[in-house]
Amino acid sequence: MTPDRDAVARGSNDAAAIVADGLEKKFEATVALAGVSFAVRRSELFGFIGPDGAGKTTLFRILATLMVPDRGRARVLGLDVVSDLWKLRTRVGYMPGRFSLYPDLSVAENLQFFAAVFGTTVEREYAQIAPIYSQLEPFRDRRAGALSGGMKQKLALCCALVHRPEVLFLDEPTTGVDAVSRREFWELLGRLKAAGLTIVVSTPYMDEANRCDRVALIQRGRLLALDTPDAIARGFDRPLFAVHAGNRYQSLLALRRRPHTHQVYPFGESLHYTDSRSDATPDQIQRELADYLRGEGFDAVNVALTDPTVEDTFMARMGDA
Amino acid sequence: MTSGPAIEAADLTRTFGAFVAVDHITFDVKPGEVFGFLGANGAGKTTAIRMLTGLLAPTGGTARVAGHDVYTESEAIKRDIGYMSQRFSLYEDLTVWENIRLYGGIYDLPPKEIRKRAEAMLARLGLEHARSQPVRLLPLGWRQKLALSVALVHRPRIVFLDEPTSGVDPVTRRQFWELIYETAAGGTTVLVTTHYMDEAEYCDRISIMVAGRIGAMGAPGALKKDFSVPSIDELFVRMARPTEARS
């Protein structure tokens, strides 16, 4: 299965907000992107899920016209990211991963600055940013550098939105932010999407995949998979078992010693287990696992089939890559 | 001294002017326990950890860490604990070997002992080939594993891990957690903060701080049952935003 090709084929129609074809980028000996192709539809909330160093930031910079690829090409809103850069730049918004507002300017001043750069004013664009800016207004005179992490993130989003872009690139907006602020941020993105904005977002948190319409799993400059979060989870190709057996670390080590173990790893409150045999039925595996653990002296053993998640698929594909 | 709790805090409090950052928190952590110390940004976690690591004097209550009083024995505490954070741990321009030697030296280990422990550490991590490389050239996942090992070089009774796994892939994150389990199985107490709510479920017990207080504390499974929530993520959000129904 080559999801990249399919995506390009699907993206060749008018509905595509972004089409990337074979993007490559190297920094000296380091390969940041090793041929990345995909398409994003208009008004889609599209996520790139992957760890540090996967190539997410390089990809976002290329799409936001801030960097030129070594090879391959990309069109955003039908415009080439290299040759049409000036036409495109006013139509996309970009929120970099590192906080990049002016820490010594106030909340209001930062916003005025970004509006002015794009030849507009905060007043004229107020409707666009109101749902987010209203939460910041009590702090409008505070220095941006003195805001909390969650507030900084909201201000950066306002600044990326103030010129009313049609496509928004958000590079790891939720990294290092607590679970509550993260959830609020995703709720905001959902509202922006409902208003018609195309949003491309990256995150290292696998559980955030489910907030996106479609996601691409990215690792070492390559896409491991591209689909809806549900389809990616369903693409997991072995029966997956959730195992509980008291002491987690000791049961993990015990399962590692078992000859038929394909993979076993901690997952939430249980261990996730896959078997290396293709000819064993799930019932048989389940029974054998429970017997094995009891035989190893564990009590309160519970083994059950469980639904794979995007994270399970990511780990399985990483192993294949 | 080796019996008794690794950490015991009673009504531990810290104010800054009129602001109560940590408000009468009471909890114990057992030896060899993996304790998740959770809370939203600004809930008081960092202030509490600074008090428990002997860096900040409390303004009220009591706490003993590795048997030492946080008011009067902060130097003894620093000797008996290790500390690692995502933001600062290793010196990036020093080599792997130099980092281990530096930390061994800080904790007054004799040079021979440092050499012995460094060799054992490199062998265990499979990093012998990288001993002369500057740390900044190592992949992030290796830097994190090395940072944890270095934080343990003086064999502390307790190690504090402040968001140790940010940014790495899910496989590397789990390898790191196996190092945590191994550490705890060896008797060292682990206190860990994280923004990954699934990691909260890897802990023996967790506490969730809300506005300076401990809003919930217990084993993850028991907490989920008590609060009738499917996940710690859900509990975390509910504690921090009590008025909002689940989404």
**pLDDT digit string (tens) for A274-300?**
999 999 999 999 999 999 999 999 989
What is the phi/psi pair of residue A27, to 5°? Answer: -120, 105
Of the partner residues A53, A252, A319, the one whose CB lies closest to the CB of residue B140: A53
- Nearest residue of A to residue B231 by CA position? A268
Residue A39 CB partners (closer than 8 Å, separation 6+): A7, A8, A10, A11, A12, A16, A18, A19, A20
How many CB atoms are closer than 10 A to CB A234? 13
Asked if A241 contacts A272 with a C-beta cutoff of 8 angstroms, the reply is yes
Closest CA to A73 of A28, A111, A38, A103: A38
CA distances from A215 to A63, A204, A210, A249, B217 (A): 16, 12, 9, 32, 35
Q: For residues B191 and B161, what is the distance between their CA atoms, to the nearest angstrom? A: 6
Q: Which residues pair with A203 in a beta bridge?
A: A49
Element (H, E) at A78: none
The verdict on a CB contact (< 8 Å) between B201 and A205 is no
Q: Is B126 exposed, middle or buried (0-12, 13-18, 19+ CB in 10 A)?
A: exposed
Contact A83, A47 (CB under 8 A): no
Contact predicate B133/B97, CB 8 Å: no
**C-alpha span between A250 and A240 (Å, rounded):** 20
CB A245 within 8 A of CB A266: no
Identity (one letter) of the amino acid at A73?
Answer: R
Interface of A with B (CB under 8 A): 50-54, 148-150, 175-183, 187, 204-207, 219, 248-250, 252, 265-269, 311, 314-315, 318-319
What are chain A's domains? 3-227 (3.40.50.300), 241-305 (3.30.70)
**Token output for A272:** 């996730």
Identify whether the C-beta of residue B159 lies closer than 8 Å to the C-beta of residue B183: yes
B202 in contact with A, Cβ within 8 Å: yes
With a cut of 70, say whether residue A6 has pLDDT above it. no
Cα B221 from Cα A26, distance rounded (Å): 46
Residue B70: how many CB atoms within 10 A of its CB? 23
Distance CA B235, CA A49 (A): 25
For residue A72, which amino acid is it?
G
Using CA atoms, how far residue A273 sits from A21, A230, A244, in Å, is 37, 20, 11
Which fold does the domain B7-240 belong to in CATH? Rossmann fold (3.40.50)
A206:B170 CB<8 A: yes
pTM, to two decimals: 0.86
- With CA atoms as reference, report the closest residue to B189 among B77, B57, B40: B77
| Long-range own/partner contacts, residues A119-123 (CB < 8 A, 24 or more apart) | A119/A163, A120/A162, A120/A163, A120/A164, A122/A162
User: Looking at the predicted structure, is the pLDDT value of residue A8 above 50?
Assistant: no
Reported as a single tens digit per residue, the pLDDT across A130-157 is 888 888 989 999 999 998 888 898 999 9
Contacts of B185 in chain A (CB under 8 A): 249-250
pLDDT of A97 reads: 86
Question: Is B235 in contact with B223 (CB distance < 8 Å)?
Answer: yes
CA distance A20 to chain B (A): 24
Between A179-194 and A126-136, two packed helices, what is the crossing angle to 10 degrees? 160
A-B Cβ pairs (cutoff 8 Å, strict): 89
Strands B213-218, B205-210: pairing is antiparallel
Distance (Å) from the C-alpha of residue A181 to the closest C-alpha of chain B?
8
Q: B102 vs chain A: nearest CA distance in angstroms?
A: 27
SS (H, E, C) chain B: CCCCCCEEEEEEEEEECCEEEEEEEEEEECCCCEEEEEECCCCCHHHHHHHHCCCCCCCEEEEEECCEECCCCHHHHHHHEEEEECCCCCCCCCEHHHHHHHHHHHCCCCHHHHHHHHHHHHHHHCCHHHCCCEHHHCCHHHHHHHHHHHHCCCCCCEEEEECCCCCCCHHHHHHHHHHHHHHHHCCCEEEEECCCHHHHCCCCEEEEEECCEEEEEECHHHHHHHHCCCCHHHHHHHHHCCCCCCC
Tokens of A294: 């009891």
Give the tokens for residue A99: 């906080």
Two tokens at A170? 């958000």
Amino acid (1-letter code) at residue A55: G
Decide: A114 and A100 in contact? Cβ < 8 Å: no
Classify A172 as helix, strand or coil.
coil
Where does the pLDDT of residue A320 fall: very low under 50, low under 70, confident under 90, or very high at 90 and above? low
Could you tell me which of B177, B200, B211, B212 has the C-alpha nearest to residue B38?
B200
pLDDT of chain B, 247 residues: tens digit per residue: 456 899 999 999 999 999 999 999 999 999 999 999 999 888 999 999 999 999 999 999 999 999 999 999 999 999 999 999 876 689 999 999 999 999 999 999 999 999 999 999 999 999 999 999 999 999 888 999 999 999 999 999 999 999 898 878 888 899 999 999 999 999 999 999 988 888 999 999 999 999 999 999 999 999 999 999 999 999 998 988 755 443 3
Task: Identify the bridge partners of residue B65 per DSSP, sorted by sequence position.
Answer: B7, B68
d(CA B237, nearest CA chain A) in Å: 5
Nearest to B169 among A150, A219, A267 (CB): A219
Residue with tokens 């993979």: A263
| pLDDT digits 0-9 by tens, A96-131 | 988 889 999 999 999 999 999 999 999 998 888 888
The string of pLDDT tens digits covering residues A166-219 is 999 999 998 878 888 888 899 999 999 999 999 999 998 888 999 999 999 999
- pLDDT, tens digit (0-9, with 9 covering 90-100), for A21-63: 999 999 998 999 999 999 999 999 999 999 888 999 999 999 9
